[in-house]
Structure 1
């Protein structure tokens, strides 16, 4: 059996203990600091109005002078939850669209870590939000959680299509007004050019008009016509 010199190992063990303790303390402080910084960052999205409306309808408090809270119909609560799911669909689309751009800008160094932390926190919040909506839908109607986002996606797509059609119609009216103004300007310019051409034509005609000579006008003596007539008589 080998004798272990514990006194000789005491210093290395103490060094390892201090090193491990320092590392754990630094890691704990660093995580707390990062969590505090992340909590102080501005949220990626604004307030979730549809979620607040749903929760307000679900947990309505009794009015003054009444012991019971007003009864909200289940259809209204389901409609509020569906509107909440539609807003979640819109936010998911925004996150998927912005993820590639944020990742590329972060790799290039064009944006800081704060923006990426905000995005990651928004992505985590959306995962919790979707899970919560599914649980609420199954609580209101068994099995509804499996199809609620499919219905919400159809509603969101229909709204986007209607907004696009409204934008096209507004653009059509704008272009129609622009074309009416442009056509009026073209017509005015054409009429002005036509009047100028008529004026030039009238001016040229007046300068090139031949002089008519009256044969009955008596010729003066010594004129070429009188001399020619006298020579003919002779």
Structure 2
């Protein structure tokens, strides 16, 4: 692997083996890290281990979040979930479904936006919680007492401001490409996404692992 020429305390070949074994435990014996997916896994490992040298070599900014894109069934959610135990507590992402957030908004209303933005801090501290918003783009437009709101757009815009002021990290998984994101959420949000995320994309020919 190309990381052999870089100063790093980690054996990435061994880490991938261990990650695959852990994946089999969590998701069943059919779980496998395919060769075509290894560049994505390498980037994720370097990021969540906060390995500065490898992250720099891979073009990752550890002060930004991860925007993980790929076709349906390529393993985005599974990989982020498997990365959680590798993260320090303050970097460990809390996984939350965008679809579930939209349902919560229809029941609770605008307090949901605060829950995932200005109130998303560890208790009694100014340390922000890291959230990974899973499957951005699959949520349906919802109303609360007749008021319509693009809930995820508002949450992400608020978290952008908190990234600037409090270094609040956000991660996203999505099946959408950049143009589809703009169509769903507008150019204002898309420009902020470019600022606050490292883009990591699966190869378009990656197989659907749900089959």
TM, length-normalised to structure 1:
0.22
Q: Give the structure with the higher percent helix.
A: 1
Higher RCO (Cα < 8 Å, 6 or more apart): 2
TM, length-normalised to structure 2:
0.24
Select the structure of larger CA radius of gyration.
1
